[in-house]
Amino acid sequence: MKIYTKTGDKGYTGLIGGGRTMKNDVRVEIYGTLDELSSFIGLLKTENGCPKEVIGTLDHIQGTLIGLNCLFAISDNKNSHNFAINTEEITLLEKIIDKYSGELPPVTEFLVPGANKLNALANVCRTVCRRAERRIYDLELCDDQKTAAIYINRLSDYFFILGRRLSE
């Protein structure tokens, strides 16, 4: 099977469930940005010194992002429940954020990314995540997408605290 189909050569792309949309459609921007985030997560987790427990969490997050890509790539929101994120995913992130927050001193000033490579990569993930979140709110969201937006917000918080933890 060829990797190219030539069906996108005129600026359109296919959606899950059928239908086509322009490549500059906000949904395409969202799932493209989430794909970019997953790629940066891959870079972060393969960097020397990334703790095994963090790698496990990042693997899980990448799996969740695949589902979110599908959620925003479907042609009909009536089928969004097939790709809905479970609120337990949000709770899991909050538990990790709370754990790491409890282990770190309070933030008393603006933090500049780049204490080391792991910190810098975590902050790249955070900013890409924030960009995806901003684009999500350009949509008229169905309920499943609203939950996804909350997850993405919490995920950017996770990358902020992870960056702090990895700079220690």
Q: CATH number, domain at 51?
A: 1.20.1200.10
pLDDT of residue 78: 67
Determine, yes or no, domain membership for 150: yes
The predicted structure's pLDDT at residue 79? 67
Domain that holds residue 73: 12-92+111-166
Q: List, for residues 21-73, the tens digit of each pLDDT value.
A: 999 999 999 999 999 999 999 999 999 999 999 999 999 999 999 999 988 88
Does a structural domain hold residue 124? yes
Q: Residue 71 phi/psi, 5° resolution?
A: -55, -40
Global pTM value: 0.92
Rounded Cα–Cα distance for residues 97 and 158 (Å): 6
- Mean pLDDT, residues 87-107 taken together: 96
CA distance 158 to 162: 6
